[in-house]
Structure 1
């Protein structure tokens, strides 16, 4: 259970406070409701580019990191298809420094040509190193447009192609910033050795004067029901053949999400899972294999992915995966098997609440459901999943017409 209080500023900023006087630190986590799904299809990679631009200095702070280091602080950020998240950890006595720094970045960026060019080059180099010049790096650049035909999940957070970043102009990035980096499009969580009254005072002082932005219309194209199997074969200089299968599944806060998540655990979580036992340990068809869910705010994907043993084709590997799925569909599962994955899921949630930073991030993300307390109901939702729910989900999701398959072959 993560205890919290929440309030809103007049400009629309949602503020959540989690008090924990047992620690000596404080965390300020600022989540912006913008990710790669919000991008123009002809100008992708902007959400991730902005993660970099936000560290290039703000109106009154030339060097973000150096100011934070003076007070013993640390910070980082990440971008996903759904959000961009910034977080700062400081000794609790210095929490006001975090308020100052984050409010100044929200208030305004200098948009210097030099910073833009530097960060564009950083992102382009990351694109090349992590996605184009690394074994299997382009897997999701290929898989996303295979699995998604309409929704903006069809491109990765890094972007569709390097040229979109290369061609980004000052006008482009200013428009993106002015639309999405506003208090009414953000969730601020302050956690650790702080008090609600303290956070209210600091929030008013540092954020209340920042103007609210225009309401954002989010017209994501709904992904139509997939009604036939999709396949793509690519060949590259990689050490081993790899097979990835993706099945459409419920959204993160939708009914059925936890059921689908447990299905993925039954199939491919750790070395006690069905896929590992059958295809790695017993038959050695795969060198490694796992299954997981994407956890997307809009309907996402249940993924099965593995590297084949030498001499085994991706086609044979896919056939063997379907055999494991069919056995589950035809024979069902034992009660202890469901108990095991439910206990694992509960343990993951419990361990996730140990660190103050994790609690802050959990509260921020949970706010996207419309109810911050959703995070405290997760365990009950997991416990409520029955064997009949699992089998219904298996039979609805794990079928060929709902499957996109990427055969990644070594040359």
Structure 2
């Protein structure tokens, strides 16, 4: 059981406190409810650009990293489709340094054309290196648009078009900041060793007077993606070393009651050497060199993703047919109690491993708070432990059927 407190400041900032006096460090997480789903359609990649801008200096902090390193800390950040998370770990006695740094950049970034141009260059270079110069680097530029027709999930986190970042203006950046980077759109989590008698006052001193969102900058409502009712297919050719098949099966929202079952199903399907796809396609037949499956846990309209790379010198058509035959086996035959027990045991071990690390605890707390219920950190695993073979087999029939599939074949371009 992970004990925590939760409360909200008058300006709307959600605060989570997890005290562990056995630790010598403290972790500070700030999650902003803004991800690539909130990018303006003509400025895709904006949330990711902002992750970089948040380290470029704020009103009283010329360089975020330098100040944190002087306090013996380290930090990082991640942008997803649904949120952007900033986190620091530092010696417990220097906790207030992280509170000062995070509050200062929540209060007011130091906007300048120079810093914007610098960070745009960094992001544009990252786009080139990861999307244009790597084999399969533009995969999600094709795949996301195949899976989603209307929702902003249809573009990747890094952005759909490099010009969207290149043409971004300082005025657009300021508007994005004051629309989304406000305390009422954020969650602060402090985990580890801190003084529980003074921590609330420290948080109030640093964060309570930061103004909430301006009513003149409303956050647009994002409508849900319509249900998928037909098989979708796309074939892409590029300079890649071998063909790869990518499948997506539309499942459910992150809070749907079927989510634990679909997550477990993804492990049974392609989560390691004991999974069905590995046994049938790699171990038994050697038709595929690699095959895996995992969950797409977007807050809205998630899915199961399968990635399968046929072995060299294998007939591609034969391999692809075998992949579909293995998936049909999961639908028609299903799983055994022994298979389910093995996977649930693995998931339970994964959960215990995450809980052992104080930074992971903070990450879990802010994510579940984003979902609206931080108590899920203690209760969600029970939903996995209670799953039955009948539930998993029913979910396989419901969510692996052809009508909710999307397939992208990424093939090697023929020689000229």
Whether these two folds match at TM > 0.5 is yes
Equivalent residue for 2:80?
80
Structure 1 residues 129 and 96: alpha-carbon distance in aligned structure 2, compared to 1, 3 A threshold: same
Equivalent residue for 1:31?
31
Q: Does the residue aligned with 1:272 lie in a helix, a strand or coil? A: coil
In terms of mean alpha carbon deviation, does 293-302 or 177-186 score higher? 293-302
Equivalent residue for 2:145?
145
The answer (yes or no) to whether the contact 1:189–1:363 under 8 Å persists in 2 is: yes
Which consecutive unaligned segments of at least 5 residues does structure 2 have?
none
Equivalent residue for 1:245?
247
The answer (yes or no) to whether the contact 1:268–1:289 under 8 Å persists in 2 is: yes
**Structure 1 residue 328: deviation in Å?**
2.1
Q: 1:345-364 residue pairs with structure 2 within 5 A?
A: 345-364=347-366
In terms of mean alpha carbon deviation, does 314-323 or 238-247 score higher? 314-323
2:313 to 311, 323, 327: 311
1:266 to 258, 265, 268: 268
Aligned-pair Cα RMSD in Å: 1.2
1:368 to 367, 370, 375: 370
Q: Provide the TM-score with structure 1 as the length reference.
A: 0.98
The answer (yes or no) to whether the contact 2:26–2:191 under 8 Å persists in 1 is: yes
The answer (yes or no) to whether the contact 1:293–1:302 under 8 Å persists in 2 is: yes
Equivalent residue for 1:287?
289
**Structure 1 residue 23: deviation in Å?**
1.0
Structure 1 residues 312 and 228: alpha-carbon distance in aligned structure 2, compared to 1, 3 A threshold: farther
**Structure 1 residue 199: deviation in Å?**
2.1
**Structure 1 residue 86: deviation in Å?**
0.2
The answer (yes or no) to whether the contact 1:288–1:308 under 8 Å persists in 2 is: yes
Which consecutive unaligned segments of at least 5 residues does structure 1 have?
none
In terms of mean alpha carbon deviation, does 39-48 or 306-315 score higher? 306-315
**Structure 1 residue 195: deviation in Å?**
3.5
Separation (CA, whole Å) in 1 of partners of 2:374 and 2:102: 22
Equivalent residue for 2:67?
67
Equivalent residue for 2:44?
44
Equivalent residue for 1:205?
205
The answer (yes or no) to whether the contact 1:363–1:375 under 8 Å persists in 2 is: yes
Q: Does the residue aligned with 1:16 lie in a helix, a strand or coil? A: strand
> Would you say 1:334 and 2:336 are equivalent positions?
yes
**Structure 1 residue 218: deviation in Å?**
4.7
The answer (yes or no) to whether the contact 2:13–2:184 under 8 Å persists in 1 is: yes
Q: Does the residue aligned with 1:353 lie in a helix, a strand or coil? A: helix
Q: 1:4-15 residue pairs with structure 2 within 5 A?
A: 4-15=4-15
Q: Provide the TM-score with structure 2 as the length reference.
A: 0.97
Equivalent residue for 1:321?
323
1:402 to 401, 404, 407: 404
The answer (yes or no) to whether the contact 1:275–1:321 under 8 Å persists in 2 is: yes
Q: Does the residue aligned with 1:11 lie in a helix, a strand or coil? A: coil
The answer (yes or no) to whether the contact 1:267–1:274 under 8 Å persists in 2 is: yes
Equivalent residue for 2:126?
126
Paired positions, count: 411
Separation (CA, whole Å) in 1 of partners of 2:212 and 2:296: 32
In terms of mean alpha carbon deviation, does 216-225 or 149-158 score higher? 216-225
Q: Does the residue aligned with 2:168 lie in a helix, a strand or coil? A: coil
